[in-house]
Amino acid sequence: MKAFQPVRQVKASDEVFNQLKDSIITGMYKTGDKLPSERELIEMFKVSRTVVREAMKVLAATGFVEIRYGATGGAFVNDLTFDRLSDAWGDLFSSGKLSIPELCQARILIEPHVARLAAENRNNEYIEKLEKALSNEGLHDTYPDTVHERQRVHYVLAEMCRNRFLESIVKSLVILIRNITEEFQPPTDEVHPLGMHDALVKAVIAGDGDAAEKEMRAHLIEFNDRMAAAEEKYRKSQKKIWTVG
């Protein structure tokens, strides 16, 4: 006979947090909406002020709401952006439970298929966005503007695949890689020179799924090799400074 699991006592503040979080996720409260006031929440949940405040602190800490003060203040629902998922993965990276090679391997497994789907779903609107993203890659020559510009193609392709789950994974991985590299800020032209997206974009616009998949895989392999070399170069320079110091 299967053993029963112990009953877990849930803190009142956890229950309030979970109900408010669910109301945001399900769309009862949308981005920019103001949650009920503290007094209203106390009445709704039949709990103390301390319980409500604890729940609101967790909502704010996890990014679901922004607390504003003053006469027009309150708890306002944040936009649930891809940065939140990226931040969660970033915590895993910081704790040593994820590595850059693992993140790069995930991109190589996922993004070629995304490129294929993008080629299959192309239309005039997407083509225009893709061409604009490509043409803007050389607008700036300083970090971090160069990074944002040369990531834009991946964002557009993720949108073009028309699979929101794949889109969220791709965008979150791209954001996470960007955040990680902020530590050593490698020269953009060293890890991602202009022209690396040309063949990929050409294949997608032509609607050639096979070529798009092939070009994306080749692009990511080259980019990851360049990134690994740049990181190694940075680590050696830091070790040299530490030794001399």
User: pLDDT for 191-238, tens place per residue?
Assistant: 999 999 999 999 999 999 999 999 999 999 999 999 888 888 877 877
DSSP class per residue in 133-201: HHHGGGS--STTHHHHHHHHHHHHHHHHTT-HHHHHHHHHHHHHHHHHHTTT---HHHHS-TTTTHHHH
CATH architecture group of domain 12-77: Orthogonal Bundle (1.10)
**Stretch 161-173: mean pLDDT, rounded?**
90
d(CA 32, CA 157) in angstroms, rounded, equals: 28
List the CATH code of the domain at 82-244: 1.20.120.530
- H/E run at residue 68: strand 65-68
| For the chain, percent of residues with pLDDT exceeding 90 | 52
d(CA 152, CA 169) in angstroms, rounded, equals: 15
Of the candidates 109, 124, 217, 224, the one whose C-alpha atom is nearest the C-alpha of residue 166 is 109
How much is the pLDDT for 2? 56
How much is the pLDDT for 4? 58
Instruction: List the beta bridge partners of residue 67.
Output: 75
Is residue 241's pLDDT more than 70? no
- The band of 242, judged by pLDDT with boundaries at 50, 70 and 90, is low
Of the candidates 152, 164, 166, the one whose C-alpha atom is nearest the C-alpha of residue 200 is 152
How much is the pLDDT for 240? 62
* 85-116 pLDDT per residue, tens: 667 777 777 777 778 788 889 999 999 999 99
Contact at 8 Å (CB) between 107 and 115?
no
Is residue 75's pLDDT more than 70? yes
Where does the chain hold its CATH 1.20.120.530 domain(s)? 82-244
Mean of the per-residue pLDDT values for the chain? 87
How much is the pLDDT for 7? 52
Amino acid at 225: D
Where does the chain hold its CATH 1.10.10.10 domain(s)? 12-77
3-state secondary structure 73-125: CEEEECCCCHHHHHHHHHHHHHCCCCCHHHHHHHHHHHHHHHHHHHHHCCCHH
3-state secondary structure of 66: strand
d(CA 33, CA 166) in angstroms, rounded, equals: 28
DSSP class per residue in 40-51: HHHHHHT--HHH
